[in-house]
Amino acid sequence: MTDRTPVADITEEARQVLAQCRAGNVTARLIGGLAVAWHQHWPTPAALQRSCGDIDIVIGRKEGRAARGVLTQLGYVPNEGFNALHGDRRLLFYDQANGRQIDVFIGTFAMCQTLDLSGRLGIHPDTLGIADLLLTKLQIVEINAKDLTDAIQLLRNHAVSRADRPGTDELSLDRLCAVTSGDWGWYTTLSDNLAKVAAFAPDKLSEPERAGVSARITDIQQAIDQAGKSLRWKARARIGRHSPWYELPEEVAGTRHG
């Protein structure tokens, strides 16, 4: 048990969660809208400003038990039923004082597509790497304005490069190609959503940012189009859209991803 109460300022609380995870030997990285906000390197236009309601993190595959202990000590209340059913891949905790929750993804981020994050938690010290953050946003088939807004933020704040290594605060084309060249479903969902971002962005940006985001979308699409494809990718491409290539996330009472 603990007497601690999570603080009201969600950004400060996220910092404390990350710090305590490090102290407890849990490799935690922010995802979701709060992680995108972490990377606001330029003033944000009013049309792209949004609030963050919850804290979402991803941890290493074998760190679930340790994470439970850390979050309980931080004053979070576990959803025992959800955690018993899904605890090998996802955990849910509540901040009752502030009406928030922490969603904990273990080793992978699985919604409409599954993003394997093995070996990916060392790219950035506080969040997932930029390419992985973009993938978490653009793997949602029924994508909403919030996720499109976050995708624009990532694209306007980060240059595109091939690099995929720790300490690089750029959007890695190599990572995007690695994910999409082996999985036709990933490729299709990302391509569809890049087109949606391209259609959504012009009303949210002024020049020269509008042109910059458009150019980065084009660079990404060209890179994933031109990358060599696996035999599995080619076999699934023959079936095409006649069969679903994605999962629709199960809605669980009390959960929401941001």
Query: What is the distance between the alpha carbons of residues 103 and 158, in angstroms, rounded to a whole number?
Result: 26
The token pair at 83 is 């955690």
Same domain, residue pair 139 and 176: yes
* Assigned domain for 247 exists: no
176 with 118, same domain? no
Cα R_g (the chain), whole angstroms: 18
CB 6 within 8 A of CB 13: yes
Domain boundary among 128, 143, 159: 128
Specify whether 106 is located in the same domain as 165.
Answer: no
* Residues 199-227: tens digit of each pLDDT: 999 999 999 999 999 999 999 999 999 99
Any domain includes 221 = yes
Shared-domain flag, residues 93 and 124 = yes
Clarify whether residues 137 and 100 are in a common domain: no
In this structure, are 155 and 90 located in the same domain?
Answer: no
Q: Looking at the domain assignment, is residue 177 inside a domain?
A: yes
- Domain-located, residue 256: no
Q: Which residue is it, tokens 């699985």?
A: 110
Residues 121 and 166 in one domain: no
Instruction: Using CB atoms within 10 Å of the CB of residue 80, give its burial: 0 to 12 exposed, 13 to 18 middle, 19+ buried.
Output: exposed
- Nearest residue to 64 via CA among 88, 28, 100: 88
CATH number for the domain harbouring residue 103: 3.30.460.40
pLDDT of res. 251: 57
User: Are 6 and 102 members of one domain?
Assistant: yes
pLDDT at 253 over 50: no
Q: What confidence category does residue 1 fall into, taking pLDDT thresholds of 50, 70 and 90?
A: low
**Do residue 207 and residue 96 come from a single domain?**
no
> Does residue 255 belong to any structural domain of this protein?
no
Distance in angstroms (rounded) separating the CA atoms of residues 100 and 148: 23
Domain count, the chain: 2
Q: Final residue of a domain: which of 128, 152, 185?
A: 128
Same domain membership, residue 110 and residue 174:
no
Of 220, 228, 222, 138, the closest CA to residue 182 belongs to 228
Domain that holds residue 222: 129-242
The pLDDT tens digits of the residues spanning 83-108 come to 999 999 999 999 999 999 999 999 99
pLDDT tens digits for 136-186?
999 999 999 999 999 999 999 999 999 898 988 999 999 999 999 999 999
